[in-house]
Structure formats: C-alpha cells, structure tokens
A and B are shown apart, each in its own frame.
Chain A
Amino acid sequence: MTRAPIRVSRRAFLAHAGALIVTFSLAPLHVAAQDAATHKKLPGSLDKAPLLDAWIRVAADGSVTVFTGKAELGQGVKTALIALAAEELGVAPSRVALITADTSRTPNEGYTAGSNSMKDSGTAIQNAAAQVREILIERAAGKLGIAADRLHARDGAIVADDGRRLGFGDLVAESYATVRAQAQSKLKDPRTYIIVGTPLARVDIPAKVTGGVAYVQDLRLPGMLHARVVLPPSYGARLRDADIANVEKMPGVVKVFRDGSVLGVVAEHEFEAIRAMRALGASAHWDEHASLPQGDVHSALQALPSQTIVDADTHASGAAPARTLEATYRRAYQMHGAIGPSCAIGLYRDDALTVWTHSQGVYPLRGSIAEMLRMPSDRVHCIHAEGSGCYGHNAADDAAAHAALLARAMPGRPVRVQWMREQEHTFEPYGPAMIAKVRAGLDASGNIVEWDSEGWSNSHSTRPGGAGNLMPAWYLASPFQQPAPEPIPMPEGGGDRNSIPYYTLPNVHVVHHFIPSMPLRVSALRSLGAYTNVFAIESFVDELAKAAGADPVAFRIRHLTDQRARDVVNAAATRFGWEGFQRRRGLGRGFAFARYKNLAAYFAVAVEVSVERETGRTRLVRAAAAIDSGQAVNPDGLRNQVEGGIVQSMSWTLFEAVTFDATRITSVDWSAYPIARFADIPDRIDVDVIDRPGQPFLGTGEAAQGPTAAALANAIADATGARLRDLPLTRDRIKGMIGV
C-alpha cells in the first residue's frame, strides 16, 4: 500500500508512547501541495484538522480515546460524541474516553456555539471513527490473510466471519499518526445502529448527582490560592484609589493586585478572599460618569449610526395585496444568567501559563490572553473544564483573563478566581435589545404575497477573538480597546438570524440595521437574533392568519413547502390536540414554527397559557413540541435540550429584562432580575423527536427559543384579545392591555 509522506508532529510523538514507531522521511514536511491539488472538502471539522489521530486514538490495550475541540456545556455533547465514535468503532461507550477542548491536545474547533457541535464535531468524529475502523480492518485482513469484506468491528476487536479475532490493541503496533482523513467514509447503515438513536445515559450525570469533581469550580490544585476581583461599579468607571496596604495585612491575604483599574486580592482561604474583597471594594474610590441610555431605549438605539444590510430581496410579479398589515416588535436586553458565576484557575510557571476555564472557545481565548499578557500564544495553554450552563458568551472568558493576570502575579501557584453573583449580573455581555418592524400583504384569498421587514440590533458576537474583547483588558493601565464589532454574515447571521421567514413567499424584502455602538455590553445569547426575529415573525404570522380568517396552524402549513417543516408543525399540533381544543375562560392557545437559521433544526410548538385577569399574571400551562434535528444521536438528550429551551424561553419571555439607570446596571442579582421558579413551570411538556436516520446533524440547543416566545404571545392574545409585542411580556404589560 502507498505510504503518505510522514510528518512528525509533537502531538503524535507525545501520544503514542508504547505503541508508536516513528519513522522519518526526507520528503517535504507538509503535504499541502498534494492536498491542494486533490482537495475535497472533508466532513465537518475534519477539514480543519485532517489527521485521523487528532480525533481517534486507539491504545495498545485496545481502549479508545476520542478528541473533540468542542466543550460540554451541559447540553450532553460528550455523551453524543462518544456514542457516534462507539457506534462506528463497534465498542461499548464505556470503553471510550473523550477529551474535550484543550489547546494542547484537541483539534481547534473554534467555539462551542451556534448549535453546530454535532454538525462540526459529530460529523468529524463519526467519519474519523469509521475511517480508523477501516484501517484496522485492513490491517487485520493483512494479518489474517483474508479479504476485508469478511471482517467487521465488534466489542473492541476486528472479527472475521470464521470467528478469528484480533483486538484493537493488536492492530496499532504501527501508528496511523500520519493518515489523513478522506472525504468519503464507509459509515454504518443507520438501520444497524445499536447505540446511536437510542436513549443514552449521560456520562457526566453520575458524578454530578454524587458530589464528584464535575466543574471547573471543583478543581483543586496543590498549593492553590483563592482570589476575588473588585469590578468597577459601571462600564466607564476608573479607579482613583483603594486601601491596598491595609487589605494586604488582613488575615490570609497574600497579595492585593492592581493594574490600572483592575483590582483583585489573593488569599490562602476562600472566605478570607471574600472578606478582603469586601474591604478592598469598600475602600475603593471610582470616577464614574453617566453613559447609559435612559427613557425609550429602543428609540435611542435606532438613532445610533448603523450599517444597512439587505438580507433578502426577491420579487415575483403578481397583483398588489388586498390588505396590508404592519407591526413593530421589541425586545429588552436580557441575561445569560448562568447559575454558577464564572470561575477560572490560572497557573503561571516557567514563562508558561495554563488556564482552566469554562470558556466556549479555548483556542480563541488562548490567543486573546496571550495578546493581553504580551506572551507568545504557544506559551499559553487553555483547558476546558465544565462550568454551569452558559447559554452563549457570558463572563467565562473574563474570569479566565483575571485568572491569567493574577496567576502571573503569583508565579508557581495556581490561582482560582471566582466571580460573585453581582459581578456576573452586571458585567456579563447581554443579549442585545432589538427592534423588528414587519409589514406584509395578503391577497384576496388570504395568502401572504409580500413581506417587508427591518430589524435593528447591536452585534451578537463580541467574543475573544483578541484581548480587546476580554473585559479586564479594558481596565488595565495600558488598556486594550474593544474592537469595532462586525456583523455575522448570513446565512448564519447575528441580529438578523432567522429574519427571513421560512415560508415560501413571492416577494420578500428583509433589511438589517447593524448598530456598532454598544451602550451596554452585548454578545451572543442562545439563538442570537433568532429569539427576537422568530418572535416577531411568528407573532405577525398569527396576526395575518387572524386577518385572513384562517386557523393559525393551517395558515402556516399553507405557506410551507418543505415537508420536514410541515411534519413538525403537524406533529406538534396533533400532540397538543389543536383541533379539539376547548377554550375556557382565562385560557388560550398559541402556535409557532421556525427552522433555526433557515438551515438547521426544524421546530414547532403549541402552548396553552392561563392569564389571571385581575393581575395579568400568566402561566405556561402545557406545551407540545416537535423537533427534527436530522439523525438523532441521543433522543433523550434532544428532548432534554428542547424542554430546557422551552422553559428558559418562557422565563425570558414572561419575566426578564436587564435594568439600569443613567450610570449603572441595577439588575444586580436574582431579586432584581427574577427568572422562572417552580411556581411558573408548566404541568407538562411533550416533545416529539422526529428522527431522520442517516440525515445530516442539524443541532438542537437553540431551536426552541424564538418559537416559544411567539407561541406564548399568540396564546396570550388568544386568551385575552390583547396582542403584546414588547418582550418581556410582563404581568404589568398584560394587565395594562387587558384593562379593567
């Protein structure tokens, strides 16, 4: 067989002790020239990291290690990736170890975001595993002297149809460290799946329910110090002075750190650090100035300079509409609100820095921290350790930056930085406030014949990417400036994500106004612009259906041509009992559909709400949803994510808005920023998973956010006759619309 030129990589060298034979060649050290000539796009993230052993390693004892650049955020990705690898390799999932996001060990897959993990990493791992299996089969064929088609993988071995068997460990004496992935894989037939598509028990749950080490917050390194930071009281604040000398003398304090307006304290014990933080904060004097928009925040945003992007502009000839409707929808700034405030551990030793972090992107973070510390990035090592759910770009990277700064100030000792609740609440980047204005025309038969919409939003991504997006770096004596944000181009989009209706409409004009200037700190929050845009579209579609005298579900079906879209709509409606719904006083029903990004998961949901007339208090009573994520790897994981998305979206939609005065964020903790509690939880949520074996993975995590918001608004309108268009749909607003 042909041998590809061998390239020695440090990774391969380190990883294969005991199983590796390294040979050198005087051939060119990279294969790019050959690849470029024959290059076909490799599946998923294989394109970014084409060596098979970057993804799948088989050890001499036959155990399998899988590497992913993605991170476990609580969405169950670890379990799903293990399942994919185990399925293709024919091993039990319990024999597969998974290494996640580590700049020294795993491929660089950017951020764990956008519901792309299965598409990017799942596809890569599935294909890599299949290709490794084929290599092992080929080797076994050679050793056994039989044709490869008489062999298959089972229980960690390659088994012949005559019963002969070679364990994986017997087949890796020769490494495949240089073997590059191919564009095509011999994937298992989904009809033969024994792992994928079955309800899988999450690999991380047992430790989480028994007090095991499960989170970055649980890591304890020898000699570890505890640190707290004192954050500025507002974005524009600058530190004049603080009583550093006296705080340094407090019990247990080993150092007080100041660099410009960055202030922190390091102590032996955690509560000592907290006490010292309070003393330090109490003694600090800041210069502040009022810079936050007051009054009508949305109008203030719309008045800022913006860049206009035309996202859709299709025209078909036809008669003018018989009737035109128009409405404007708004959304407040909203929080990630991770239940565990951000945390990171830094260790600076021998001019190298290691950071344990729950950042969604360890590689971009590494580069940003290196830039901030003015170090070469190959001297910075970022390792992902799970945090609490982050739902996007929260303060994880900032805590990591603090850990880096403080660790460098305490060489040789690990420094653990834990943000406080109030700090996470006031400094995390929010989901931006948005405006969506929609106008549509119906023909005489009640079909939508034209659609024209405009949206306004700040950036939905200010991730690091550069020290300038690490908040602590803004406050250093030599500060880094936050770079001007760039819009995320369609079809993914940022503020314009899902702004183009998925319905088949003859005339569609969609424009987005990207507002670079950010009065409040903003970035990616689960589903980005899709939450507001789907809220607007699906609320407006209901308003159109009403004007057309049509049933909301039938109206949607009429305008959908994608059968998979119709399938989720029908499934949700049927599960809910849409046809036979009995309206009772104070109860209403609502429906919504969207295909995330118009190219990812299909999702539809029907809800029933109760509205208390005297108080406006509204509760989601029950929900019935249907999701099509392509091949379902772990259907129970899918259901878990969808249930969670519905509940979280309900909380955003009914309760949540960041509050602020002219200078400071005032929603500093859960008392000032209430979220759903058990009293608000519905009686039941049904989720139908429409499995599409063999189809590409479409992701799941963000599909429910927008449709749930619209379904709630539609149900409230059904119950009360009041159409609300401003998120959140608080009880005061609902009561105000109901009147007496």
Chain B
Amino acid sequence: MITLNVNGRARAVDADADTPLLYVLRDHLGLNGAKFGCGLGQCGACTVIVDGKAVFSCVTPISVLGGRAIRTVEGLGTVDDPGPLQRAFIAEQAAQCGYCIAGMMMRAQALIDANASPSDAQIRAHMMPNLCRCGTHMRILRAIRRAVDATHAASASTGGKHG
C-alpha cells in the first residue's frame, strides 16, 4: 500500500512500487487526464506535475512519490468550475482531437507557476517535450499566453502570487 498525494488529497493505492504513475492514476484512481501516448517519455501525453515540475508519469514509478505533491488536470478545475488555464483552452478552442491537451496543460501550468511572465520563446521552448499530431500548436500557445496574462493580471490586482 502506498499513499499518494493527488490533487491535494491523500489516496491509498494497492499497486506494486515499480508501477508507473500513469497506470495508477488511470486504473486505480480513475483519473482520465494523463494519457498513454507512448510509454517511453517521448510524447508528453502523460504529463503531470510533481512538486511543481512537469514530469512524464509513464516513466515515474510510484515508489518515488511518497510525500510529494502530484497534480493532474483534474486538479485544475472542473467542467462546472474550470480553472484559468482550462478557461483559456476553452476560450481559444485549443483542441482538435484533444488527446494531447491534458498533458500540454500540465506542462504549461508548471511554467505558469514558476514564471510570472514567460516570453513567447520561453513558452515554446518549455513545451518542446510535448507532441501534438493534429497541429493544434498555434491555439495551444495562444491559450497558454491567455492564461499567463490572466494569471499575471490577477496577481497584479491582488498584489500577490496567484496559483
């Protein structure tokens, strides 16, 4: 039994310690966001955030995650109450098939959390590990920019860092 902190909640999981997080999220915890795209750390469809860093959940065994904070796209908001990044992706209609999008969002969220005002070049460079086959990149970049600006404006108005 391993206890994982997923989206702020402690979840007990009965899986072998060397099981990659991706399968635990999907099969044990019923979370759909992180996706199987390659299982090899090449495509980023499985991207989640661990302790603030974007990681490939397909090559991260749960044995290394005790006491660490795991965030998935489900933790960013819900259909009824989407978070800023989700609202940005909906507003920009930043999806075609959408399979890569949850991974894209988690990678982007890690950047937004770490850097209040990334340049366009920094956003592009940061997103390199994630593939999109449909060619939705322009909209993904616009959505990220939109969320950065919204977060920036929010933190400017509240005078503090906004999560």
Contact = CB atoms under 8 A, between A and B. Distances in A.
A74 interface: yes
B134 A644 contact: yes
B133 A339 contact: yes
B38 A670 contact: yes
Contacts of B100: 339, 388
User: How many B residues are at the interface, by size bracket?
Assistant: 35 or more
Given A647-B135, A679-B124, A271 B19 contact: yes
Contacts of A210: 73-74, 76-79, 82, 86
B153 interface: no
Given A205-B90, A681-B138, A389 B36 contact: no
A201 B79 CA distance: 14
Contact of A640 (B43, B99, B133, B136): B136
A643 interface: yes
Contacts of A73: 97
Interface string B87-102: 0011001011111111
B42 A206 contact: no
A310 B39 CA distance: 47
Nearest to A424: B38
A121 to B, nearest CB: 19
Given A202-B93, A648-B133, A340 B99 contact: yes
B156 to A, nearest CB: 25
Contacts of B37: 339-341, 388, 421
A386 B97 contact: yes
A270 interface: yes
B140 to A, nearest CB: 8
A89 interface: no
A274 to B, nearest CB: 8
A645 interface: yes
A637 B134 CA distance: 13
B65 interface: no
Interface string A380-406: 000000111101000000000000000
Interface string A265-289: 0000111001000000000000000
Interface in B24-42: 26-27, 30-33, 35-40, 42
Contacts of B125: 678-679
A421 B135 contact: no
B16 interface: yes
A213 B137 CA distance: 23
Interface string B110-152: 0000000000000011011011111111110100000000000
A119 B148 CA distance: 40
Nearest to B120: A683
Contact of A270 (B23, B38, B141): B23
Contacts of B139: 640, 643
Contact of B96 (A337, A644, A651): A644
B59 interface: no
Pairs A-B, 4 closest by C-beta atoms: A74-B97, A647-B135, A388-B99, A389-B97
23 contacts: A73-B97, A74-B98, A76-B96, A204-B98, A205-B89, A208-B95, A209-B86, A209-B102, A210-B76, A211-B102, A218-B32, A269-B23, A339-B37, A340-B36, A341-B37, A388-B99, A421-B37, A421-B40, A644-B136, A647-B137, A670-B131, A676-B135, A678-B137
